[in-house]
Structure 1
Amino acid sequence: MKRCLVVLICCFVIVTTLFAQSNKLIKELESKRGALQKQIAETESLLKDTKKDVGSQLNNLAVLTGQIDERKRYIASMTKDVSAIDRELGSLRRQLRGLRKDLKDKKKKYELSVKYLYKNKSIEEKLMFIFSADDLAKMYRRLRYVREYATFQRLQGEQIVKKQEQINKKRAELNQVKAAKEKLLKGREDEKHKLESQEKKKRTLVANLQKKQKALQNEIRKKRREANQLNAKIDRLIAKEIEKARKRAEEEARREKAARQKNKSKGKSRKTESTSRRRKARPLEKYSMSKADRKLSGNFASNKGRLPMPISGSYIIVSHYGKYAVEGLRNVKLDNKGIDIQGRPGAQARAIFDGKVAAVFKLNGLFNILVRHGSYISVYCNLSSASVKQGESVSTKQSLGEIFSDLAHNGRTVLHFQLRREKTKLNPEPWLNR
């Protein structure tokens, strides 16, 4: 009897847990999509520059391309969520089939026990069964059997009621998940229509720019000159920072060697010093770090894909890393050493990880900041002000300064962000949590 009661309780707990799991899955998927949807909605207002000059139209094209990329990412996320819900529906259907089969078996057993009791329903028959025992011990066992069988029949009836409740709950859960899927499919279709509208607008913008090839090429050359000037300055500062780190590592190694030599004999000490001189004479082939730098590098690398965006508030990536041609425009090729992130006026540049400010410099009237994270260096450009100084330690998400808002282009606010490992340029996007 106790075992039956335990089974009943376990079944109830399992069904309740599964129901909660489906609800949790739906809520998690909706939460992730909600964040993406909010991001898209907030960035739609960024496309408001109505000027017809090439610079403004190129900026609008970058924003529109970024919005299209975001919407495609959102639609891909919705498709992925549909697959997750389909898997959940399949699991729920299998559970429902199992519950129905279990209910059918229990009903059959209950029917047999009812028939048996009906045949032996009279009190006289039960008493005859009990008192016809050969001895007192058998009589007691038969009495206990009659009582336990009656309890067993009652529990079977309760199990059927509970099983039916489980089936009803599972059916309700299944319907809830189906409704979530239908809502998601409808939302995906709406987003596809919006995407088609944006792509049509982009084609119109590209067609206008194609008519202004000469002005377009001049604008591209101007942007390229500015980018080359900035990158050359960044490269020089990073080379200096690498050299500083190498000297710190050498100094640390010398101190450690001096400490070890105190514990060695005089002869061994001379031998070690001779070997050390020979090693020191060799050119340094690779970048070396102090223990503190190595630790910080390891911590930074282990957070790949989880680093916060280097801009506060809503944002959109308007230019990606690497060399690529602008779709629809002839002979328009871009080479971005980082990514360009557009936000709202007043947006702050913020540190993506703990580190130390390696440099703060001004170029063309705007501030640029380098933050060292061991062997990794993050670069924040196009700031109207800097709130940190060289040598200052910064923490994750700490504000570094306000991003410049270009009033000539309706307050266009763009952070140029780069990520390096020593001298190697990295694509920042896989490192950031989007």
Structure 2
Amino acid sequence: MKKLLLTILFMLTGALLMAQTAEQKKLEQRKAQILKEIKDLNSLINKEDKKEKSALSQISESEAKIKLSEKLISTTNRQTRLLTDEIYLNQLKINKLKRELVVLKEDYSKTLVKAYKSRNEQSRIMFILSSKNFLEAYRRIQYMKQYASFRKIQGDEIRTKMAELEKTIATLEGQKKEKVKLVAQSEKDKDALEKDKKEQQSLVKTIQKDRKKLNAEVVKKQKESREVQQKIDAAIREAIAAANKKTAKSTTESKTTTAAASTASPNKIVLTKEGKLISDNFKANKGKLSYPVAHGYISLPYGDTPHPFVKGYTQHNSGVEITTNPGEAVRAVFGGEVSQIQMTPDTKKKIVYIRHGDYFTVYYNMESVNVSPGQEVSAMQSIGTVATNPVTKESVLKFCILQNTSYLNPSSWIVK
């Protein structure tokens, strides 16, 4: 019973180690993405002229840097916790292997003693000749062969266990060294974070006298953002209506599909067979879609976030804002059909909509566009360039993902 419990524990330990190894790989990928964003952010900060940047832009950059540093520390801490668990599980494995080796060596030792006592060739022959009949003699010969084979198996098992033990000990030592590195890196990142926070506090203090002006700038930006979202909402509803109208008139789809499309809700696309395949393919690539720009960092995340210095003010974002280089090429994150291209009347910046079944990707604040409505585009294909604000000198792409009219968090879908 005790042996059975130990075997079950060993199997569970192995399963846990494999699961944690997979989690470690995910964390490594996440860490690499964060480090890439930090590198792009620092590169953009170094390229820009601080004298030309507004205080709001500087605070935005500072806030983005702090958020990325916090994500990096959080990811490193998760890696450290996983390593601690792996170290513990590997130590359990080593203890079990050592116990098994003790038992195996004891059994092997007893087998060798018995073999030594019966080593005389004459005694083995007499053992066979003393058989009562031929069948018994045959059985004794087979027994002697099996006994010799058993000794070999015992020896091989001991060697295998010793090799496994040595490998696990080496893995454990490597994990301990890696943990020391991660802890040291985490402490270094925490120091850098504290420095960034102090710099941000200092920057906020220097602009206290212009608080009213900055508050007005924040409110203006949020108003512009709401207007753009309303424009996007209307365009998506138009695209849904157009898609359902086309499906309703189709002669290749089933009567059920065409009937459903003709009476469909204005907020949901009735998918054709081809549309469902595209939609399912898009959904299957969640967490694997490429970034819409080659370089950049998320300067404003999805959802509601408190403003870094305007107390009590919450910023709402239906997508993500990615700050990048001036003139940076904007890429389609997945293959699809360009459903519409719009231009904002005030800023004259363009918005590109790409449909993927009942999913849409939206690219806003584009200076130039090199695709047209109805055109099929492939993943990573350039669709235009990002615009640069002449006042703030920032080049920011707003990127949204929707399923029908529901906004989704792009950070859960794209990866660098």
TM-score (norm 1): 0.76
Equivalent residues of 1:210, 1:329 under 8 A apart: no
Q: Is residue 2:181 matched to residue 1:166?
A: no
Q: Is residue 2:177 matched to residue 1:179?
A: yes
1-structure distance, mates of 2:152, 2:360: 73
Quote how far apart the aligned CAs of 1:21 are.
6.8
Deviates more, 1:383-392 or 1:351-360: 351-360
Q: Is residue 2:390 matched to residue 1:392?
A: no
Q: Deviations 1:79-110 (Å, cap 9, x if unpaired)?
A: 22223323333332232223222211122122
State the match for 1:245 in structure 2.
243
Q: Is residue 2:321 matched to residue 1:340?
A: yes
Quote how far apart the aligned CAs of 1:370 are.
2.0
Equivalenced residue count is 396
Q: Is residue 2:412 matched to residue 1:414?
A: no
2-structure distance, mates of 1:162, 1:256: 63
Q: Which of the pair has more CA radius of gyration?
A: 1
Equivalent residues of 1:382, 1:416 under 8 A apart: yes
Equivalent residues of 1:252, 1:290 under 8 A apart: no
Quote how far apart the aligned CAs of 1:318 are.
0.9
Quote how far apart the aligned CAs of 1:386 are.
0.6
In structure 2, do the counterparts of structure 1 residues 406 and 128 end up closer, same or farther at CA, with 3 Å as the change threshold? same
1:252 match: secondary structure: coil
Equivalent residues of 2:332, 2:378 under 8 A apart: yes
Out of 287, 292, 295, the position equivalent to 2:276 is 295
2:374 match: secondary structure: coil
Quote how far apart the aligned CAs of 1:43 are.
2.1
Structure 1 stretches lacking a partner, 5+ long: 1-13, 261-275
Deviates more, 1:34-43 or 1:149-158: 149-158
After superposition, residues 35-74 of structure 1 pair within 5 angstroms as 35-48=33-46, 49=48, 51=50, 56-74=54-72
TM-score (norm 2): 0.79
Equivalent residues of 1:293, 1:375 under 8 A apart: no
In structure 2, do the counterparts of structure 1 residues 218 and 164 end up closer, same or farther at CA, with 3 Å as the change threshold? closer
In structure 2, do the counterparts of structure 1 residues 122 and 191 end up closer, same or farther at CA, with 3 Å as the change threshold? same
In structure 2, do the counterparts of structure 1 residues 140 and 88 end up closer, same or farther at CA, with 3 Å as the change threshold? same
Q: Is residue 2:211 matched to residue 1:213?
A: yes
Q: Deviations 1:210-247 (Å, cap 9, x if unpaired)?
A: 33112212322442453344344434433433332342
Deviates more, 1:23-32 or 1:36-45: 23-32
Q: Deviations 1:232-271 (Å, cap 9, x if unpaired)?
A: 443443343333234223323899669x9xxxxxxxxxxx
Q: Is residue 2:31 matched to residue 1:33?
A: yes
Amino acid at match of 2:42: E
1-structure distance, mates of 2:339, 2:70: 37
State the match for 2:90 in structure 1.
92
Deviates more, 1:364-373 or 1:133-142: 133-142
Quote how far apart the aligned CAs of 1:28 are.
6.7
Structure 2 stretches lacking a partner, 5+ long: 1-10
After superposition, residues 216-231 of structure 1 pair within 5 angstroms as 216-231=214-229
Q: Deviations 1:37-90 (Å, cap 9, x if unpaired)?
A: 23322322223445468x622112222222222222222222222233233333
Quote how far apart the aligned CAs of 1:405 are.
3.5
Out of 364, 368, 375, the position equivalent to 1:381 is 364
Amino acid at match of 2:370: S
Equivalent residues of 1:47, 1:64 under 8 A apart: no
2-structure distance, mates of 1:290, 1:123: 84
2:249 match: secondary structure: helix
State the match for 2:299 in structure 1.
318
Quote how far apart the aligned CAs of 1:342 are.
0.9
Quote how far apart the aligned CAs of 1:203 are.
1.9
2:342 match: secondary structure: strand
Query: What is the root-mean-square deviation in Å for CA atoms of aligned residues?
Result: 3.8
Deviates more, 1:101-110 or 1:40-49: 40-49
Out of 329, 333, 339, the position equivalent to 1:358 is 339
1:384 match: secondary structure: strand
Amino acid at match of 1:312: V
Equivalent residues of 1:220, 1:332 under 8 A apart: no
State the match for 2:154 in structure 1.
156
2:176 match: secondary structure: helix
Q: Deviations 1:321-353 (Å, cap 9, x if unpaired)?
A: 344431332364433333211123342222233
